[in-house]
Amino acid sequence: MKTVLAFLKPYKLPAVVAFLLMLIELTVELMLPFFLGKMINEGVVNQDIDTIMMWGVIMIGLAFIAFIAGIINSFYSSHVGWGFAHDIRKKLFAKIQAFSFANLNQYPTSGLMTRFTNDVRQIQNTIYMILRIMSKAPLLVIGGVIMAFVVNARLALIFLITVPILVGFILWVLKRASGLFNKIQNSIDKVNRVMQENLSGMRLIKAFSRRNHEETRFTEANKTLANRTRYTFRFIESSMPVLLFVMNLSLIFIIWFGNLQTISGTTSVGDVVAIINYAMRVAMSISMFTFIIMGISRMKASADRVDQVLNVDVDLKDHDEADSSLRVKQGFITFDHVSFIYPGTTKSVLSNVRFSVNPGERLAVIGSTGSGKTSLFQLIPRLYDATEGEIRIDHRPTTDYTLDNLRRSIGYVPQSPLLFTGTVAENIAWGKEHASTKEIIHAAKDAQIHDAIMELDNQYQTKVGQKGVNLSGGQKQRISIARALIRNPKILMLDDSTSALDLTTESKLLHAMESYECTTLLITQKISTAMRADRILLIDEGKVLAIGTHEELLHSSSLYQRIVTSQFGKEYANVE
């Protein structure tokens, strides 16, 4: 909770103002029974109308001041709540943006979404309520007891027994409720997760006719959430009668003793009325504790969850020796005895990988599924760091570059293209800040998607649905290629990004890409595509088996021969 609470610092002043205004309300509330007692003792008992009027006017005036203070307090409290929540969300977003994949693997997307929305809202609401009314309740209990002693110490003694019992009980409920609320937040994560998977996988669910299965999954998650919420609220609500019982018991004692003392003449009626009034206010404040316990335990659970994310140690960042003026100029890539194991796993995905790619060269990477091609790609922009060995670009280790400079020089087209909600033009321009319309069209033409875009209802201004649902797989691939080309990258990496294209379109695309002065690495399953590269790298089970031109591999690698045979037939491999 500490990290989250530190975000209150910039709001110290409005928070203090809100607190002071609340203190005004509190003081008025504490003074009113005292003045009521005086009104009875000095005015009602003596039947002095002027004194009654005087105290009446004073009390109405104070009540009005408290009312105004309450309104202004509400304004400041909500200002602190909103601003505080805004800052936490901003920091959370920046933190998650800096996460490495290993960091991201620690938290499911749904858990992060719940933190952004539900958890931050809980914290914001509670901060508002603390400044508005929650902090008033305990102060009113303390102030009420003190004032009761000021009015009549003998009658007020009863508070010394009841208040410590109540405070102890409340602290116990608070501790237990905090754990229960943590469980509720985890259940919200789970409901969000199922919901998210269902929304993004709707087509698959319909195609496989798995609606019932998904409904069962959702019902289970939803039921757990409902049960946990019910249990927690029942637990807290059941504390209420205990609190009220103890308080009402003390009220009965005050009335009984007060009555005896009034009869014996040791106490005035006004004092008894004032003490009863304090007891009622203390009881009211204590009854609010249920609500306060809920708010604070919920806030603690949520703040701890947000703290967890904010305190994650980002394991992939700029090295201390990174030179911010260093830029990739040529695109010379070297893998020097590189081995790689995914964080948190033990299996070696790449072993002792060694090869170089010259500036402007086109290298096709070919290998069976799961052989480590994508993993190899991900090491270049430092999406992961190699476990052993070194990757150099332009003869400098990738860690010498700042992550920003390194990644700016790379155009990466991932295996499954991801489009954002927005227009086609915006999706292409996403690859380059302030890209002009001319540049967008140029990149689209080179990516062989311009003609298809022109056939869309609003051409470049056509809205792309979430994740590009209204486009074909091939169209999505080409838009994401255009997005990489518009960067004019020094290194272009295509991860099986032409798999959904027909041969003619693919051929035109590869031809158009020749006009870009960049080193190109392309993962492909198709020999016809690999043949168009300057060299081919054959990878299997994380090891480089061979590297060379198509002809060289055809003569030197039996595995390559087998792949060629499986795609082109035996005759081709023999003829070649």
Ligand X SMILES: Nc1ncnc2c1ncn2[C@@H]1O[C@H](COP(=O)(O)OP(=O)(O)OP(=O)(O)O)[C@@H](O)[C@H]1O
List residues near ligand X by CB under 6 A. Answer: 342, 345, 349, 367, 369-375, 415
The region that residue 81 occupies, defined by phi over 0 for left and psi between -120 and 50 for alpha, beta otherwise, is alpha
Q: Contact 290/241 with Cβ under 8 angstroms?
A: no
Q: Which residue, 70 or 389, has its beta carbon nearer to ligand X?
A: 389
| Distance of closest approach, residue 495 Cβ to ligand X, in angstroms | 7
* Residue 451: burial class (beta carbons within 10 Å; 0-12, 13-18, 19+): exposed
CB of 416 to ligand X, least distance (A): 10
The CB-of-322 to ligand X minimum distance in angstroms stands at: 25
Angle, alpha carbons 314-318-322 (nearest 5°): 160
Q: Residue 364 Cβ, how far from ligand X at the closest point, in Å?
A: 13
- For 482-523, give the DSSP string: HHHHTT--SEEEEESTTTTS-HHHHHHHHHHHTTS-SEEEEE
Q: How far is the CB of 493 from ligand X (least distance, A)?
A: 12
Does the CA dihedral 77-78-84-85 come out positive or negative? positive
Rounded distance between C-alpha atoms, residue 562 and residue 557, angstroms: 9
Q: DSSP assignment of 429-494, as one string?
A: HTTSTT--HHHHHHHHHHTT-HHHHHTSTTGGGPEE-GGGTTS-HHHHHHHHHHHHHTT--SEEEE
> Treating both helix axes as pointing N-terminal to C-terminal, what angle do 289-310 and 120-129 enclose, rounded to 10 degrees?
140
The smaller minimum CB distance to ligand X, of residues 348 and 462, is found at 348
CB of 165 to ligand X, least distance (A): 55
Please identify which residue in the block is written with the tokens 């402007």. 360
Q: Which of 159, 138, 178, 129 is nearest to 286 (CA)?
A: 138
Three-state helix/strand/coil letters over 274-301: HHHHHHHHHHHHHHCHHHHHHHHHHHHH
Q: What are phi and psi of 19, to 5 degrees?
A: -65, -40
Nearby residues of 257 by Cβ (< 8 Å), 6 or more positions away? 154, 155, 158
> Please, what is the minimum distance in Å from the beta carbon of residue 563 to ligand X?
13
Minimum Å gap between C-beta 244 and ligand X is 55
Given the complex with ligand X, which of 264 and 345 has the nearer CB atom?
345
Nearest residue (CB) to ligand X, 374 versus 423: 374
Nearer to ligand X, 97 or 369 (CB): 369
What would you report as the CA-atom Rg of the chain, rounded to the nearest whole angstrom? 35
Smallest distance from ligand X to CB 497, Å: 12
Joined together, the tokens standing for residue 221 give: 């998650």
Which structure tokens are listed for 425?
């033009």
**Pick 11 or 377: Cβ nearer ligand X:** 377
Smaller CB distance to ligand X: residue 29 or 496?
496
330 vs 351, beta carbon nearer ligand X: 351
User: Amino acid letter at 364?
Assistant: A
Pick between residue 374 and residue 565 the one whose CB is nearest to ligand X.
374
Per the CB < 8 A criterion, the answer to whether 535 and 361 are in contact is: yes
CB 420 within 8 A of CB 440: no
Q: What share of the chain is helix, strand, coil (3-state, %, to 5)?
A: 65, 10, 20
DSSP designation for 543: E
User: What is the nearest approach in angstroms of ligand X to the Cβ of residue 492?
Assistant: 17
Least distance CB 348 / ligand X (angstroms): 9
106, β-bridge pairs: none
Which amino acid makes up residue 126? T
In whole angstroms, how close is the CB of 548 to ligand X at the nearest point? 20
User: Which of residues 138 and 343 has its CB atom nearest to ligand X in the complex?
Assistant: 343
Question: What minimum distance in Å lies between the beta carbon of 506 and ligand X?
Answer: 18
What is the maximum alpha-carbon separation in the chain? 125
Complex with ligand X: residue 89 or 543, whichever CB lies closer: 543
CB 391 to ligand X: min, Å: 15
Q: Which is nearer to ligand X, 116 or 342 (CB)?
A: 342
User: Rounded to whole angstroms, how far apart are CA atoms 134 and 126?
Assistant: 9
74 or 368: whose CB is closer to ligand X? 368
- Residue 91 or 543: the one with the smaller Cβ distance to ligand X is 543
Which residues, at least 6 apart from 421, have a Cβ–Cβ distance to it below 8 Å? 463, 464, 465, 466
